[in-house]
């Protein structure tokens, strides 16, 4: 799309300007530092105390202001690089070049009814095509939406929210860019949530700890000063004993609270960075204006009180934890200055009480904030997918439970220029379609096309079709049954287990849409034919709703003649010794046979008369 190329060009032209400004700021900062040192050294040498008191803070403030300006511009430069990266990734998705994107393999499970068969996760997957999240929780939520169909009301709410997001390209990319600096796929945010749920240790007795620590801080400071002053006089230092006594008490208290401090730091160590991401994302959400009910509800979850918001509270705990983690633990490095001042002024007591106060205040809200931000991320991902594929359509959700209707249906993971689209409709409980076709003609791809688009429809996303209407259905697929050497399970037995699961699901009374590809391919032809016909009859008697693909034309004819199934087919033809596939779905049983031709092309010398073989 031209807009992505234009954005890349626009952002690339801004970066050299920023780099020049950053270079000037670096030089200015170095000059201020060097000149300040020279001036301070000269004034100190000349005993010009008043001038020294003026020049020193001016030098420090000047250096700090230049450093702040540098950091601000550098942050803007990084943001531009992220925006370039986002637009480059959109162009890669348009070409279905997905190899560099996260695959979501951690969310994959073999026991799922359809994840194994539809390339939802893994290489060249639907997850890679859709995912524009930057937080682990957002990625998890997207995986959840891909794995389970939503209710009709939820689907319609999501569609409305995505449609509102669609024209807001700049906002959506700014939102994604806000989270990218903090992106970490292994943040263990559940560990953070568990820490929030843990009980407080010092907070119930905070008054005693606060009064005691203040008294000890003041005592330590006073006795330390008096010890230093008294050390310049001759004779015994009377303040040394009380100083050492206070120091001993400090050490005793710090050892007592040390396990609590280490627990807080270890539980939150991997998540301080991601808190920065949540803070940036929440700030952008709160400061924006929305219209749809879903987005307004999520925004209100982040504005949980009149004068308080998730942004402010996350900012507080992030800064507290960043400072507290300077302490270090047995598992992490420590800052020597923190340890020194901690022994003087009991910093551990302060940080433990402050973090426990924060937990007590926000315990009920943290999970709500993360859920709201994560849902914004997923909706933003689906809006990005919809914007890049503006020919796709948001499906109607049918009022009746057994309906599929697609016009110009295609597979979103195939390139648009080579994608072949088909019309398909199936309606009514007990309706079964049987698809026959020659090898490589497109039967399995067609089944996956329907399955992937049903997933998109049921999560609120647009389908790769000109028009679509679907019911709420539980999707069940058996296409890639595999053996399992560890458990001693053959591919045939694995397929039988899948069929058993399907029959149980259908008997439950839930609206099921099934797809079976090449039934009982792991056994001999006679048993395959007998078992296939028997299963089709049983599915028909159970009023099952779905599609079966097969190479077995006799099975398809028998089922069609008894009005058990409606037959469709994919056909091919041979022209000038070339095998040509149309990939168009036709009504009726397959009329061509190309397996022999494919075998000849593979170098197999086929016998003309098998009966005469010696």
Confidence of residue 507 (pLDDT cuts 50, 70, 90): confident
pLDDT at 484: 47
pLDDT per residue as tens digits for the range 105-127: 888 888 888 998 899 999 999 99
pLDDT at 5: 95
93 pLDDT exceeds 50? yes
pTM of the model: 0.88
613 pLDDT exceeds 60? no
Instruction: Say what percent of the chain tops pLDDT 70.
Output: 93
Mean pLDDT of 24-37: 92
Q: Which helix (H) or strand (E) holds 513?
A: strand 512-517
User: How far, rounded to the nearest angstrom, does the alpha carbon of residue 47 sit from its chain's CA centroid?
Assistant: 62
pLDDT at 611: 60
Average pLDDT, the chain: 87
Q: How buried is residue 56: exposed, middle or buried, by Cβ count under 10 Å (0-12/13-18/19+)?
A: middle
Residues 321 and 342: their CA atoms lie apart, in Å, by 15
Q: For residue 99, what are its two tokens?
A: 């190899």
> CA neighbours within 13 Å on the CB side: how many for 165?
31
pLDDT per residue as tens digits for the range 331-380: 778 888 888 888 888 999 999 999 999 999 988 898 999 999 999 999 99
User: How far, rounded to the nearest angstrom, does the alpha carbon of residue 326 sit from its chain's CA centroid?
Assistant: 30
Residues 382 and 322: their CA atoms lie apart, in Å, by 34
pLDDT at 274: 82
Reported in sequence order, the residue ranges of 44-184 that DSSP labels E, i.e. its strands, are none
**Could you give the C-alpha distances from 423 to 103, 446, 469, 519, in angstroms and in order?**
30, 11, 12, 24
Pick from 158-162, 196-200, 227-231, 432-436 the range whose average pLDDT is largest.
Answer: 158-162
pLDDT at 488: 39
Residues 547 and 549: their CA atoms lie apart, in Å, by 7
Confidence of residue 97 (pLDDT cuts 50, 70, 90): very high
Question: Among all chains, which residue has been given the structure tokens 């594929």?
Answer: 389
Q: For residue 69, what are its two tokens?
A: 């300006």
Q: Characterize 423-457 residue by residue with b for buried, 16 or more Cβ atoms within 10 angstroms of its Cβ, and e for exposed.
A: ebebeeeebbbbbbbbebbbbbebbbbbbbbbbbb
pLDDT at 522: 63
In the chain, the largest separation of any two C-alpha atoms, in whole Å, equals: 124
- Residue partners of 63: CB distance under 8 A and separation at least 6: 29, 32, 33, 36
pLDDT per residue as tens digits for the range 524-574: 777 778 888 888 888 888 889 999 988 878 777 877 777 778 899 988 777
Q: Which of 165-174, 196-205, 234-243, 284-293 has the lowest mean pLDDT?
A: 234-243
pLDDT at 184: 67
Q: Name the strands in the sheet holding 467-470, side by side, starting at the edge strand that comes first in the sequence.
A: 396-397, 467-470, 403-409, 422-427
pLDDT at 486: 45
pLDDT at 51: 85
Higher pLDDT, 518 or 352: 352
Residues 180 and 78: their CA atoms lie apart, in Å, by 10
pLDDT at 595: 66
Which DSSP state fits 340? H
Residues 86 and 88: their CA atoms lie apart, in Å, by 5
487 pLDDT exceeds 50? no
Q: Which of 79-88, 171-180, 229-238, 439-448 has the lowest mean pLDDT?
A: 229-238
Confidence of residue 483 (pLDDT cuts 50, 70, 90): very low
Contact (CB, 8 A) for 302 and 310: yes
Mean pLDDT of 69-95: 94
pLDDT at 610: 64
pLDDT per residue as tens digits for the range 558-572: 777 777 788 999 887
Q: Where are the alpha helices (DSSP H) in 303-346?
A: 310-324, 336-345
Instruction: Say what percent of the chain tops pLDDT 90.
Output: 49
> CA neighbours within 13 Å on the CB side: how many for 222?
9
Contact (CB, 8 A) for 351 and 323: yes
pLDDT at 594: 67
501 pLDDT exceeds 60? yes
Higher pLDDT, 526 or 576: 526
Confidence of residue 461 (pLDDT cuts 50, 70, 90): very high
- Residue partners of 189: CB distance under 8 A and separation at least 6: 135, 136, 137, 271, 274, 370
Architecture of domain 396-612: 3-Layer(aba) Sandwich (3.40)
482 pLDDT exceeds 60? no
């Amino acid at each position: 799309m031209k807009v992505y190329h234009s954005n890349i060009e626009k952002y690339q032209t801004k970066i050299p300007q920023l780099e020049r400004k950053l270079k000037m700021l670096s030089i200015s900062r170095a000059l201020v530092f060097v000149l300040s040192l020279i001036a301070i050294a000269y004034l100190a040498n000349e005993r010009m105390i008043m001038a020294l008191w003026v020049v020193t803070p001016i030098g420090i403030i000047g250096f700090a202001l230049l450093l702040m300006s540098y950091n601000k511009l550098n942050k803007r430069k990084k943001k531009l690089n992220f925006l370039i990266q986002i637009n480059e990734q959109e162009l890669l998705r348009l070409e279905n070049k997905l190899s560099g994107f996260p695959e979501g393999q951690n969310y994959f499970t073999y026991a799922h009814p359809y994840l194994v068969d539809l390339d939802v996760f893994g290489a060249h997957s639907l997850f890679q095509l859709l995912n524009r999240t930057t937080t682990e929780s957002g990625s998890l939520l997207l995986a959840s939406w891909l794995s389970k169909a939503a209710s009709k009301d939820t689907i319609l709410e999501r569609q409305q929210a995505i449609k509102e997001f669609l024209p807001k390209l700049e906002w959506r990319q700014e939102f994604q860019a806000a989270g990218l600096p903090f992106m970490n796929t292994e943040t263990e945010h559940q560990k953070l949530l568990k820490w929030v749920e843990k009980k407080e240790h010092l907070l119930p007795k905070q008054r005693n700890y606060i009064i005691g620590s203040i008294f000890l801080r003041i005592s330590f400071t006073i006795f330390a000063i008096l010890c230093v002053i008294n050390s310049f006089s001759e004779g015994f230092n009377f303040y040394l004993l009380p100083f050492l006594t206070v120091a001993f008490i400090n050490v005793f208290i710090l050892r007592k609270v040390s396990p609590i401090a280490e627990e807080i730091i270890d539980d939150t160590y991997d998540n301080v960075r991601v808190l920065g991401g949540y803070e940036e994302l929440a700030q952008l959400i709160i400061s924006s204006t929305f219209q749809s009910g879903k987005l307004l509800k999520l925004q209100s979850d982040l504005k949980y009180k009149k004068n308080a918001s998730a942004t402010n509270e996350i900012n507080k705990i992030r800064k507290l934890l960043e400072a507290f983690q300077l302490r270090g633990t047995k598992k992490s490095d420590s800052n020597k200055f923190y340890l020194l001042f901690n022994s003087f002024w009991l910093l551990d007591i302060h940080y433990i009480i402050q973090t426990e106060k924060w937990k007590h205040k926000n315990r009920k809200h943290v999970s709500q904030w993360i859920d709201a931000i994560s849902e914004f991320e997923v909706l933003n991902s689906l809006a990005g997918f919809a914007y890049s594929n503006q020919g796709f359509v948001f499906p109607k959700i049918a009022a009746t439970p057994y309906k599929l209707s697609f016009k110009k249906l295609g597979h979103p993971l195939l390139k648009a220029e080579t994608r072949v689209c088909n019309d398909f409709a199936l309606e009514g409980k007990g309706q079964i379609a049987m698809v026959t076709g020659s090898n490589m003609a497109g039967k399995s791809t067609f089944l996956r096309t329907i399955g992937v688009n049903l997933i998109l429809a049921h999560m609120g996303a647009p389908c790769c079709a000109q028009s679509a209407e679907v019911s709420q259905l539980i999707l069940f697929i058996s296409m890639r049954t595999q053996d399992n050497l560890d458990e001693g399970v053959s591919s045939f037995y694995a397929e039988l287990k899948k069929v058993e699961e399907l029959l149980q699901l259908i008997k439950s009374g839930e609206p099921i849409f099934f797809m079976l590809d090449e039934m009982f391919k792991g056994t001999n032809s006679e048993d395959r034919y007998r078992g296939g016909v028997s299963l089709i009859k049983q599915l028909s008697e159970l009023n099952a709703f779905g599609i079966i693909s097969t190479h077995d034309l006799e099975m398809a004819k028998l089922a069609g003649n008894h009005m058990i199934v409606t037959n469709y087919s994919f056909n091919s033809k041979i022209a000038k010794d070339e095998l040509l596939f149309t990939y168009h779905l036709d009504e009726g049983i397959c009329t061509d046979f190309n397996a022999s031709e494919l075998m000849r092309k593979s170098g197999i010398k086929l016998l003309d008369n098998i009966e005469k073989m010696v």
